[in-house]
Amino acid sequence: MLQAIEVSYRLPEGQEILRAIDFQLGRGEKVVLLGANGTGKSTLLKVLNGLLPPTTGTVSYDGRVVDRAALREAAFHQRFRREVVLLFQNPDTMLFNPSVFDEIAFGPRQLGLDDVDKRVHHWAGELGVVPLLERTPFGLSGGEKQRVCLAALLILEPKVLLLDEPTANMDPRSTGWLVDFLADINQTTLVTTHNLSLAGEFGDRCLVLGEDHRLIFDGPIQDFLGDQDRLAAANLVHRHRHRHGATEHSHFHTHDWD
């Protein structure tokens, strides 16, 4: 339902961030987007969310091209923004309302929905942030902010969730919670991460951005994770010396660094 067709993105200064990216997300699919730092994962999500216009190529949603002209159309704009949502890597950037309640209510209020109060309480309950409703979003911890942002997005009942490094600001307990939560929802999700030990938990298909900013793999995640050469080529594993008693050797491996 969300498709990238030969998408390239170049900064105004000329640096190329994405090169000829081509893939399609099916309804209800759970996809993981892997890539080393600086390969363009965040940029790709912003392009898919219609926030950055691709330099060449197109993004299409449900058969409709998502470009400036389409987004200027109020009806399509509203539908697209409501159905395709993006959780930014830094949750702070998304929070601008005076209270957590207002933050979650921001979407439904824009849509002029009734029973905003009920909806907010429902989603605050789902995400476990009911006790925070009266607080200001600025004062929350990283994990709490992430949950508030998710509540603010899910209340729109989106069809596609784009999540940019959602575990980056989370402690292990919140991370475990998020993995379970995403497994239980039936929306299409595309989750970026550079944490290989978690990648398998977020989906069964994986897309990999290489350091040349091209899509270097699209397929079952186990095939990719089991392929040392591909992992090394994508700069997702490393090698260094290990000492085990008197023997010293080195092999490719990863660390759980998040």
Partner 1 sequence: MHIPDGFLSPQTYLPAYALAAGGWAYATRELRRRVDETLLPRLAVLTALAFVLMTVMLPLPGGTSVHASGIGILAVVFGPWLTFAVVSLVLLLQALVLGAGGVTVLPVNALAMGLGGSVAACLGYRLLAPRWERAGLFAAGWLAAVVPAALVAVVLGLQPAIAHTSDGQPLFFPFGLSVTLPAVLIPHAILGLGEGLLTVLVVSFLRRR
Partner 2 sequence: MKDRLLLLGYAIAVVAATSVHNPWWLAGGLLVVAALAGRQAPTIGWRALRAVLFFNLVISIGYAAGALFGQAVSLDYLILVNTRVYLLIFLTFSLASKIDILRALSFSRNLSYLVTLVLSQIIPFRRLFEDLRLAAESRRLRRLRLRERYLQSAAAAVHLFDRAEHDAREIALAMRSRGFFQPEATDNAPGD
Angle at 162 between CA 7 and CA 103, to 5 degrees: 130
> Backbone phi, then psi, for 188, in 5-degree steps?
-70, 130
User: Per the structure block, which two tokens stand in for 55?
Assistant: 């330099």
At closest approach, how far in Å is the CB of 139 from partner 1?
6
Binding mask 62-101 for partner 1 (x = CB under 8 A): ------------------------------------x---
At closest approach, how far in Å is the CB of 156 from partner 2?
8
Contacted entry of partner 2, partner 1, none for residue 139, CB cut-off 5 to 8 Å set by kind: partner 1
Angle between helices 100-111 and 142-154 (to 10 degrees): 20
Chosen residue from 8, 58, 89, 136 binding partner 1 by CB under 8 A: 136
> Backbone phi, then psi, for 244, in 5-degree steps?
-120, 95
Q: Is 138 in the site for partner 1 (CB under 8 A)?
A: yes
Among candidates 35, 23, 24, which has minimal Cα distance to 194?
35
Q: Which stretch binds partner 1 (CB under 8 A): 14-22, 26-34, 131-139, 244-252?
A: 131-139
If 0-12 CB within 10 Å is exposed, 13-18 middle and 19+ buried, where does residue 59 land?
Answer: buried
Chosen residue from 139, 172, 219, 220 binding partner 1 by CB under 8 A: 139
Q: Which stretch binds partner 2 (CB under 8 A): 54-62, 102-110, 238-246, 250-258?
A: 102-110
